[in-house]
Amino acid sequence: MDFELVKPSIPVINGRVSQDSVVGQEAHLDPSSPGLLGDTASVHSSAPRSPLAANEQASGAVTDTQAAADAHRQREIRWMALLPTVPPSQARKNKKVKRLLQDGVPSSLRYLVWCHLTDSKARALPGVYSKLGKRSRVPVFTEIEKDAARCFPDQPQLHNTHGPIVSLLQAYLSMVPDIRYSPALTSIAGHLLLLAPEEDAFWIFASVMDAHLRPYFSTSMIQTEVDAALLSKAVEVNDPALHKKLYVSLQMAPANITRPWFSCLFVGTLPVDHLHRIWDIFLYEGIPFLFRVGLAVIHCVRHLLLQATSEESALENLTHPPVACLPSSADELLSLCFSMKLKDDDVRKQRVKMEAQVKRQTQARAHPNTSGMPGRQTTSISLPRS
C-alpha cells in the first residue's frame, strides 16, 4: 500500500473567534496580552486599581464582543447572498463556498448550509417521510429508544417514544432495511435534530448516509477495514514513534481506532462547537477530511498515548480526549487538521483501489471456482407507494 503523503498548501485559519462563540457570550481575555492588561507588573500589583482603569477594561470587553457580533452578522450576510447563487449540486465544487466554510458558518444558518452541501432538498420526496413513519416498528426500535436516552440525557424532547430521534431512525431503517444498526446512527441523527427541523434532518441524514457513511454500516465491514489500514499508514508517516507504540507495542487493531470516529463523525469525541465546524468542512471535503481530524486528535493526546500501558487506556484517550488536550477553539482545531501531512487525492484513490482488492479476495475465498470478477453491490431501498 504505497501512496504519497505531503503537506497541503491549504490556508491556515487563525486569529478569529469561532462563529459559535461570539453572540451572547463574554469575550475571553488573554492575561499575557499587554494590549489588554498592560505590563506584567500591573498584573501582579497589590495596589488598588482605579475605577477609570476598570471602566476602560470593561469598555474594551464590550467593544470586543460587539466587534465579534458584527463579524458574525457579516458572515450571515455573505452566506445569505451566496446560497441562492450556487446550485446545491455544485456547492462542493465551488471555491467561494469553500472560502466561506473556512471563514465559518453562522450557527443561525448552519442547517441551511448543510442542506445545500448535501443537496438534501433535491432528494426529498413529498409525503414520503410521514408515510415511512406509519410503517410497523423496525426490529431495533427498542434499542434506538435506549440509545437515544443514553446519548442525549439532557435533551428529553429528543428521545421519548414518539420523539424525533426514534421517528427519524424508524423511517430511515424501514426505507433502507439492509443497514446494520449502530448507536452511531443515533448520535448523528440527534445532533442533526438539535439544529434542523425533523423532516429536513431526515433528508440531510439520508443524503450523508448515501454519499459517505453507508459502507460503515454494511455487514461486510470492508470500508471500515480499508480506512483503518489507510489511517495506520498515515500515522506512520506523521509520527513513526507513535505508530510503533499503538500498532506494535500495544498491538491495537486499526479498526478499533477508526470505527468509533468515522462511523459517528467524531460525536462524543469533540466538543459541540468543534464538532460542528468539523462537520462543516467534512460535508464539503468528504471522507479524506476525517483522516485529518483523526490525525489531529492523535497529535493532541500524543503524550498520553506514549504513556499508555494498555489498549484500553489508549482507546479511552482517543475516543474521549481530555478537553484540556484539545485546541481551545474550533478554528485552532481546523488549522491543526490542515497541517497534517496527507494528500487527500491519494487517500481517495487508495480507498477505491484497496476496496476493490479486498472485495476480490473476499469473493475468491467465498467462490473459489469462479473467475473472481468483482460483482456490483446492490442496495435495498423500500419507498412507500404513491
User: pLDDT tens-digit profile of 190-208?
Assistant: 999 999 999 999 999 999 9
What is the pLDDT, as a whole number, of residue 33? 38
CB of 180 closer than 8 Å to CB of 217: yes
How does pLDDT run across 85-94, given as a tens digit for each residue? 999 999 999 9
Give the integer Cα–Cα distance in Å for 357 and 369. Answer: 18
What is the widest separation between alpha-carbon atoms in the chain? Answer: 89
How does pLDDT run across 102-119, given as a tens digit for each residue? 999 999 999 999 999 999
Residues contacting residue 230 through CB under 8 Å, at least 6 positions apart: 1, 291, 347, 350, 351, 354
What is the pLDDT, as a whole number, of residue 51? 52
What is the pLDDT, as a whole number, of residue 132? 94
Give the integer Cα–Cα distance in Å for 277 and 286. Answer: 14
- From residue 127, alpha-carbon distances to 130, 171, 195, 386 in Å are 6, 12, 22, 9
What is the pLDDT, as a whole number, of residue 72? 84
Q: What angle do CA 377, 383, 386 make, to 5 degrees?
A: 145
- Mean pLDDT score of the chain: 83
What is the pLDDT, as a whole number, of residue 344? 92
What is the pLDDT, as a whole number, of residue 44? 38
pLDDT category of residue 382 using cuts at 50, 70 and 90 = low
pLDDT exceeds 90 at position 129:
yes
CA dihedral 282, 80, 90, 20 (to 10 degrees): 0
Please state the rounded mean pLDDT for residues 136-157: 91
Say which range, 43-52, 229-238, 268-277, has the weakest mean pLDDT. 43-52
Higher pLDDT, 156 or 11: 156
Higher pLDDT, 54 or 178: 178
pLDDT category of residue 373 using cuts at 50, 70 and 90 = very low
299-327: burial string, b at 16+ Cβ within 10 Å, e else: bbbbebbeebeebeebbebbbebeeeebe
Say which range, 157-166, 198-207, 229-238, 322-331, has the weakest mean pLDDT. 157-166
pLDDT exceeds 50 at position 352:
yes
Percent of the chain with pLDDT over 70: 78
pLDDT category of residue 16 using cuts at 50, 70 and 90 = very low
How does pLDDT run across 298-344, given as a tens digit for each residue? 999 999 999 999 999 999 999 999 999 999 999 999 999 999 999 99
pTM summary value? 0.79
- From residue 350, alpha-carbon distances to 209, 235, 356, 376 in Å are 21, 16, 10, 19
How does pLDDT run across 40-74, given as a tens digit for each residue? 333 333 444 555 555 656 566 667 788 878 888 99
What is the pLDDT, as a whole number, of residue 366? 66
Give the integer Cα–Cα distance in Å for 231 and 294. Answer: 8
